[in-house]
Structure formats: C-alpha cells, structure tokens
Structure 1
C-alpha cells in the first residue's frame, strides 16, 4: 500500500477538559499518513486520480473548527472517521498534538490508526 502524508497541519478547535480551556478555539497540530493506491495517479499524472493534499487539509481544518470535544481522543476519532467517509483511503495514522498543554513539554497528544494495512 502506498502512503501520502501531511505533517504539521495547524488546526483550531474547541477542545479541553477544563471550562477555561473551552472559552476559545485552541491551536492544535496534526500529522497524517493515508494508505491509498497511488498507481492510477502516477500513470495519469492527473490530480483527479490522486488524493488531494489540499482537499484533505481543508476538510480537516473545517471539521476541527466545527467540533466541540473535551478530549483529543474524541476529536482524533471524529477526524479519522470523517476522512474515511470522504476520501479513498484504506488505512490512516493520525497524530494530534496539543502544544503547550503540559508545562515543560513541547507537546502532548494522541496517535490513532484506523483501517487495515494491506500486506504485499
């Protein structure tokens, strides 16, 4: 299986377990790997045969901005399900970072994998 990826995508979302966190949208960072078959895109050299990075990024940013979760785990699950509904991916790994959430740490977060990785 081939993989396309996006690293360091900045999202804004209402997220947090504490009420003071939920007063405004917070900055999150997302890393994403999508398992898909890129052979058609490679053969045609046509965007319509590929998973569009910009369409995926826009979809994630829009979805995150409209959600309201307490936990990163819930937001990550929502984003993963949304991507699998709208794009031809068989597998994904989504890492969601919450910079500044823990003093002394550059970032904390969650990484989830959904779907099945095809064996060669």
Structure 2
C-alpha cells in the first residue's frame, strides 16, 4: 500500500484555453496533486533527500501553468502528471486542474479536469 503526499491549491496564471482571448489575456489556474509514494525511507532517515521535495515540485507545477499555452486543460494536466512522475519515488499521481474562470454560457463556479497516471 502506498502513502500519499498531497499538494493542494497550487495557484498560477496561465494562458491556456480554446479561445483566442484566453490565450491572449490569461486567467488563474489552481492545481492539486496527490502522489502515491512509499514514505517509509523518509520516515526512517528523517532526510529530505529520501522523499519528494514538495517545494521544488510546486515550483515545477507553477512553471508548467505559466509556460507554453495549450488549448485543453487535459493537456496541461498531462504535462503536470509527467512532471510528477519524473521523480522515481512517485509510483502514481492524481492531478486536478481547476479553471475557475472558464468561459461558459451558463454560470459555473469551477471547471476541473482530473487525471490519474501510474508509472509503467
């Protein structure tokens, strides 16, 4: 059974979206990640080098959101999952990308896309 490390509410401004005005003006995105890890090595050693450095991971997620625009939130979520799986200690990841200001024809408080990926 794997343990979990969760980073909730990583906020950044990105220029992702299907519409030109989204890509030109940008909007806020919020990202949650849940990492499936074995925390026993870190618990035994009490050393940061034996676990996922969530500060560094958070910075990488922000860079992905602020980086090259994509049309679909699904594509952004996949990029973030790939970043998380770069760390060999991460066995699986769940990524939720929130797009609270998504342009919709009806009032919607938040639009999210959640993906789950595992190491092959």
Q: Normalized against structure 1, the TM-score is what?
A: 0.89
In structure 2, the residue matched to 1:44 is 45
CA contact (8 A) 1:51 1:87 kept: no
Count of residues paired in the alignment: 116
Mapped to 1, the partners of 2:88 and 2:107 lie a distance apart of 37
In structure 2, the residue matched to 1:107 is 110
In structure 1, the residue matched to 2:59 is 58
User: Which secondary structure state, in structure 2, belongs to the residue aligned with residue 76 of structure 1?
Assistant: helix
- Residue 78 of structure 1: CA displacement? 1.3
The alignment's C-alpha RMSD in Å is 1.4
In structure 2, the residue matched to 1:23 is 24
Deviates more, 1:101-110 or 1:49-58: 101-110
- Residue 35 of structure 1: CA displacement? 0.4
Structure 1's 45 and 114: CA in aligned 2 closer, same or farther, altered over 3 A?
A: same
1:5-45 CA-to-partner distances (Å, cap 9, x unmatched) read 01111022210101111113321001110001110110111
1:81-103 CA-to-partner distances (Å, cap 9, x unmatched) read 12212452110000000002145
TM superposition outliers: structure 1 runs of 4+ over 4 Å: none
Q: Normalized against structure 2, the TM-score is what?
A: 0.89
